[in-house]
């Protein structure tokens, strides 16, 4: 983890020079990648519907840590940027990933007169326009082997990636794992990666999970505060960060371990991602901070002592790991990957609409809409942008449900203006038994002239009305980016229901766009 003395994040690194490097590794047979079949229903946030994550063996994670320690010992005692121990660490991780069937790339950059490396590993399949990244920095400081900081995060995500391969996971989202270089020099590797993506490639990344120091000896259980619910520090992450936080908190709640929020203070590799509006989250067990008496009561350990007494020191070796914290956090990583990557448990489709044909959605069903432009319609949307993407093409196929499909002469030509626009589905007859789940893709985009009065809302209307999604605006640019959500609608079993969608530009004039696609109701 980056030391507080260093600047929080860099959005430009003029000194970096790009090349792509294929590093020498021992040749090994590649495992056959899993077959990619028909599209599967997404279920972000629906932990009760996704395939159960496997238990990650803490012994296997510690075996990787032992190898990283051996690499450091053989290379001057560290695995730091520009030192041979770092390159050997990259080769070690890459060898395991190549053998497991990942597609790996090593991206090189220059900082401080030395060459650094990012290792990127893509798992075959999943929606290329909905990429979930899982990252950890692989470098240490020059003082020591960096086994907790950050061999722990690197080894835990490596073993999670290998579990993806062993189980043949076929996720709805595309999975990409990353091991960042030169984090200890100021988030150099991750910043280089993000800054050198094209706008289109950046827009494809819809979430970044960051794991930096997950085995601290005097551990705390911190989760990045995606919704700023603790009300302090750097504020919330980009839209979607709260979902990541919630999923991770759900895991720890399920094993009876309390968590506390930790701020997005820019000290780790989520920094360049949230700076570009990409949702982020992850876990952290503490660095040089001191555990309070209240925290010791909450989690055990020693009050008045540092979470990691060997932070950035020579004693950060394999003896500097809390096995229980490492085990819990490794399992939390797998849980987050399996849940957020939306590998759904089997379910029987009840009703679906990808909007490729007209199925009878009714605009302005109550004749009370006030919007003067940007009314909901089923259409082929034209992509628009104004500094950030404001309207996207359909998530799948050619059509979606969108506020003003035409691109128009400018980004603001067909956006929602003047109030509320609504649209309602045809009647949907739900079965009377089983668990019924509604899922759909959506986005709300706006510029920094928006406010909390602007929103996208989705409700299910039957004998009662249930709001299943509300996204409100803020006075900041929010790029259009497809997300997927789901909700249990079993309370409506046996009823005829309709889905009611509305969006609003309800305050001062602002650029607001919204869309819905791939609506699905399943029974399980």
- Active-site residue set: 183
CA distances from 459 to 293, 354, 359, 423, 499 (A): 45, 18, 18, 11, 6
**Bridge partners of 384?**
391
Q: Does the N-terminal peptide bond of residue 149 adopt cis geometry, omega within 30 degrees of 0?
A: no
Quick one: which of 275, 272, 268 has its CA closest to 138?
Answer: 268
Check: CB of residue 419 under 8 Å from CB of residue 506.
yes
- DSSP states of 153-164: HHHHHHHHHHHH
The three-class DSSP label of residue 457 is strand
- With tokens 């094209």, the residue in question is 198
Q: For helices 153-167 and 58-73, what crossing angle results, to 10°? A: 130
CA distances from 73 to 314, 323, 454 (A): 11, 22, 57
- With tokens 């302005």, the residue in question is 364
Which residues are CB-neighbours of 331 under 8 A, at least 6 positions away? 53, 55, 56, 251, 255
The tokens for 122 are 């893509």
Check: CB of residue 149 under 8 Å from CB of residue 315.
no
* 70 membership: H or E segment, kind and range: helix 58-73
Quick one: which of 234, 223, 222, 212 has its CA closest to 311?
Answer: 212
Check: CB of residue 354 under 8 Å from CB of residue 441.
no
Other CB atoms within 10 A of residue 395 CB: 23
What is the distance between the alpha carbons of residues 295 and 281, in angstroms, rounded to a whole number? 21
* 272 membership: H or E segment, kind and range: helix 271-275
């Amino acid at each position: 983890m980056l030391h507080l003395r260093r600047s929080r994040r860099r959005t430009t690194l003029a000194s970096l020079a790009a090349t792509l490097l294929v590093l020498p590794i021992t040749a090994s047979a590649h495992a056959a990648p899993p077959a990619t079949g028909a599209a599967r229903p997404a279920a972000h946030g629906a932990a009760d519907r996704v395939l159960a994550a496997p238990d990650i063996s803490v012994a296997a994670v510690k075996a990787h840590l032992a190898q990283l320690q051996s690499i450091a010992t053989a290379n001057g005692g560290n695995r730091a940027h520009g030192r041979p121990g770092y390159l050997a660490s990259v080769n070690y991780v890459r060898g395991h990933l190549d053998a497991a069937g990942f597609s790996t790339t090593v991206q090189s950059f220059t900082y401080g007169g030395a060459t650094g490396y990012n290792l990127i590993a893509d798992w075959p399949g999943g929606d290329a326009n909905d990429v979930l990244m899982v990252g950890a920095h692989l470098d240490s400081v020059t003082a020591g082997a960096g086994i907790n900081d950050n061999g722990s995060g690197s080894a835990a995500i490596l073993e999670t990636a290998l579990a993806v391969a062993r189980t043949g996971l076929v996720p709805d989202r595309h999975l990409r794992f990353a091991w960042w270089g030169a984090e200890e020099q100021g988030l150099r590797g991750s910043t280089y990666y993000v800054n050198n993506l094209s706008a289109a490639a950046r827009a494809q990344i819809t979430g970044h999970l960051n794991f930096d120091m997950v085995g601290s000896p005097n551990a705390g259980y911190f989760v990045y505060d995606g919704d700023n619910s603790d009300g302090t520090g750097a504020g919330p992450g980009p839209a979607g960060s709260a979902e990541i936080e919630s999923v991770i908190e759900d895991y720890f709640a399920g094993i009876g371990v309390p968590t506390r929020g930790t701020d997005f203070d820019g000290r780790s590799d989520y920094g360049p991602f949230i700076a570009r509006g990409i949702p982020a989250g992850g876990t952290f067990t503490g660095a040089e901070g001191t555990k309070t008496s209240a925290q010791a009561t909450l989690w055990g350990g020693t009050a008045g002592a540092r979470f990691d007494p060997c932070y950035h020191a020579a004693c950060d070796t394999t003896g500097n790991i809390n096995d229980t914290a490492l085990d819990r956090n490794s399992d939390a990583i797998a849980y987050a990957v399996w849940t957020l990557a939306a590998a759904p448990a089997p379910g029987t489709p009840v009703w679906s609409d990808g909007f490729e044909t007209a199925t009878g959605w009714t605009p302005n069903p109550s004749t009370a809409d006030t919007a003067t432009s940007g009314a909901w319609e089923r259409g082929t949307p034209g992509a628009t942008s104004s500094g950030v993407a404001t309207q996207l093409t359909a998530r799948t196929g050619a059509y979606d449900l969108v506020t003003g499909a035409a691109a128009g002469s400018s980004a603001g030509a067909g956006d929602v203006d003047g109030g509320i626009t609504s649209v309602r589905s045809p009647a949907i007859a739900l079965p009377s038994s089983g668990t019924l789940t509604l899922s759909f893709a959506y986005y709300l985009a706006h510029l920094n002239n928006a406010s909390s009065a602007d929103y996208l809302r989705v409700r299910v209307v039957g004998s009662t009305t249930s709001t299943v999604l509300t996204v409100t605006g803020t006075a900041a640019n929010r790029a259009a980016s497809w997300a997927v959500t789901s909700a249990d609608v079993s309370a409506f079993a046996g009823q005829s229901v309709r889905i009611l969608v509305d969006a609003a530009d309800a305050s001062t004039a602002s650029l607001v766009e919204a869309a819905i696609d791939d609506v699905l109701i399943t029974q399980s």
